Amino acid sequence: MRWSQSFIPTLKESPADAEIASHKLLLRAGLVRKLSGGLYTFLPMGLRALRKIEGIIREEMDRAGATEVLMPALQPPDIWQQSGRYESARDVLFKVKDSVGREWVLGPTHEEVITHLAASEISSYRQMPRTFYQVQTKFRDEIRPRFGLMRAKEFIMKDAYSFDASDAGAMASYQKMYDAYTRIFARCGLKAFPVEADTGVIGGSHSHEFMVPAATGENDVAYGESDGYAANIEKATSAGPVLPTPSASTGPAPEKFPTPGVVTIDELAAPPHGVEPARQVKTLVYVADSQPVLVLLRGDDTLNEAKLMARLGATHARPATPDECSSWLGARPGSLGAVSGVPAKVVILADETLRRAMGMVTGANEDGFHLRHVDVERDIRVSRWLDLRTVKAGEASIRSGEPLRIRRAIEVGHVFKLGTKYSEKMNATFLAEDGQRRPCVMGCYGIGVTRTLQAVIEQCHDDNGISWPVSVAPFVVCITPLNAAPGGPTLSLAERLHDELAAAGIEAILDDRDERPGVKFKDSELVGFPLRVGIGEKSLAAGEVELKPRNGPMLKVPIDQALDRILAWVREHEAALNP
């Protein structure tokens, strides 16, 4: 490929609407252009890198025994109604109407479609295990698209779905995908690691997300440095808070005291009251699937909303408004408590940390008053004790006791044991060996392909631009004749090398532009080709060409060895990425 025949519009300056490095580089290196918020056109270099990632994914899916299909992006709403997600996923569903007014859905994912297929095509245990996958464009009505391809309205995803006749079979299918994912990200040159993930409404214990550590990620991961524990913060647990919870009773009964103007934990902790946060009971009012619930946490803890929803099996949860708090409890946020005045219909959930907590301080359900000497088990009608708190850095790992750390990460993949949630609702059943009809046991497995592309850039770049791993580089080799005069000796050698590389199966881009050397050097580093082959009149006179790895020092090699040295360099770096 000649540079002049491609389309690589590089930019010296970053467009103003890009914030993070990978987003800026996507634009600066001419990989993508924005059409609208969350919608991007892939230009040749971006498309080539994307195809490389897709290629790796296809190879590994096939190796793992999955089989490729392609499902419609446009889907009838009735299958979404059948699965119940027409309601529960309504926030992300794009809906469109056709010319006669009938409604359609743009698929954010394909569980419904594949389960519909399985319902009609799989009828016997003999047809399983079976794993289908596709690489498809997905649509999500993101509240706030951001960071380029990272969170977009339209994006490319690899999704796979496994069907098994038994739980054990489903676990084996899950493990195959888990292993495939590990290989895929390694081959993409990404340092991605699996973490335990929240299973949300669906329940079950088997879900892992593959995370790429990055300060710009949108997820927090809690992990142990050496014990291997790693979990999404939404799921993470610990041995408990570092500070112990007060457990000595300070009085025989709760006692009301005035706290005018005090509405926050910090204000109650400050003079004149001086009640340290660990001695306070934080009372939150939530509305979960239209039901009011009270959530009790220690004052210095934070509610983990994902845990709340998971424990309740709720699909939507939101904090109650101050007016709702007033009408249910008789007080405004800041003076709420669960000791008295809680209507019987309101469920009270308390975090495990508060078990046996004594001598606590909490709101009195009367504006301007709090209660002290509260023994939680004695004084509060707790309906359920649950793990609802968000773990904090420094707390002991449940695995080894070492202090947990927390870091930001980008989620690039998710493997999930679904069970029979969809197969039951959509009647995807089979006849088992024992003659019984049972629902298929399913798993689903996603990789954000476009997001993975950007994650690679986020992880592989420097001040000069992108630095692609050879496996996903749009071209591995950039041949740079410093003088591209037609018919001249540098261009002739460049062309010869290009053709010889092509014959050896390596696609190189030849920078045949009539540009000054500095421009070519800067561009090749910005776009990030792993190996640049420089051919100038000086080096030619010395009988040499220059091999300049993107991340290493320049090597001068004799012209007649150039091809072999380039091939060796590429093979070596390809091999390094193969697990």
Strands 531-535 and 508-510 come out as unpaired
* Bridge partners of residue 479, in order along the sequence: 510, 533
**Binders of RNA in range 96-155 (CB under 7 A):** 143-147
3-class DSSP assignment, residue 187: helix
x/- site string to RNA, residues 522 to 561, per CB under 7 A?
xx-xx-------xxxxxxx-----x-x-------------
3-class DSSP assignment, residue 93: coil
Is 285 among the residues that bind RNA (CB under 7 A)? yes
**Binders of RNA in range 476-505 (CB under 7 A):** 482-483
Q: Give the residue with the Cβ less far from RNA, 17 or 62.
A: 17
Chosen residue from 5, 7, 11, 462 binding RNA by CB under 7 A: 11
Chosen residue from 168, 393, 432, 519 binding RNA by CB under 7 A: 519
Is 290 among the residues that bind RNA (CB under 7 A)? no
Q: Give the residue with the Cβ less far from RNA, 180 or 388.
A: 388
Q: How far is CA 233 from CA 353, 393, 407, 505, in A?
A: 17, 10, 9, 45
**How far apart are the C-alpha atoms of 74 and 85, rounded to whole Å?**
16
Q: How many residues does the chain have?
A: 579
Give the binding range for RNA (CB under 7 A) out of 8-16, 51-59, 118-126, 158-166: 8-16
* Bridge partners of residue 386, in order along the sequence: 351
Is 286 among the residues that bind RNA (CB under 7 A)? yes
x/- site string to RNA, residues 352 to 391, per CB under 7 A?
-----------x--------------------------x-
**How far apart are the C-alpha atoms of 159 and 446, rounded to whole Å?**
4
**Binders of RNA in range 432-451 (CB under 7 A):** none
Number of residues that bind RNA (CB under 7 A): 63
Is 209 among the residues that bind RNA (CB under 7 A)? no
Q: Give the residue with the Cβ less far from RNA, 159 or 546.
A: 546
* CB 277, CB 265: distance < 8 Å: yes
Q: Give the residue with the Cβ less far from RNA, 29 or 165.
A: 29
Give the binding range for RNA (CB under 7 A) out of 183-191, 253-261, 315-323, 434-442: 315-323
- CA angle, 182 then 186 then 192, to 5°: 70
What phi and psi values does residue 560 have, to the nearest 5 degrees?
Answer: -75, -10
**Binders of RNA in range 28-47 (CB under 7 A):** 28, 34, 36-38
Cβ 264 to RNA shortest distance, Å: 4
Cβ 220 to RNA shortest distance, Å: 9
* Bridge partners of residue 557, in order along the sequence: 545
**Binders of RNA in range 245-264 (CB under 7 A):** 263-264
Q: How far is CA 253 from CA 246, 281, 379, in A?
A: 16, 16, 8
Q: Give the residue with the Cβ less far from RNA, 52 or 550.
A: 550
Biggest CA–CA distance in the chain, Å, is 99
DSSP 197-226: ---GGG--S-EEEEEEE-TT-SEEEEEETT
Cβ 454 to RNA shortest distance, Å: 13
Chosen residue from 319, 368, 403, 549 binding RNA by CB under 7 A: 319
Q: Give the residue with the Cβ less far from RNA, 426 or 526.
A: 526
**Binders of RNA in range 324-343 (CB under 7 A):** 325, 333-334, 336
Tokens of 279: 């001695």
Q: Give the residue with the Cβ less far from RNA, 143 or 248.
A: 143
Tokens of 112: 């419904």
Cβ 369 to RNA shortest distance, Å: 13
- Ranges of beta strands (E only) in 69-129 are 74-75, 94-97, 103-106
Strands 441-448 and 404-419 come out as antiparallel
3-class DSSP assignment, residue 63: helix
**How far apart are the C-alpha atoms of 20 and 434, rounded to whole Å?**
57
Residues that bind RNA (CB under 7 A): 10-17, 19, 28, 34, 36-38, 143-147, 263-265, 282-286, 301-305, 318-320, 322, 325, 333-334, 336, 363, 390, 464, 482-483, 516-519, 521-523, 525-526, 534-540, 546, 548
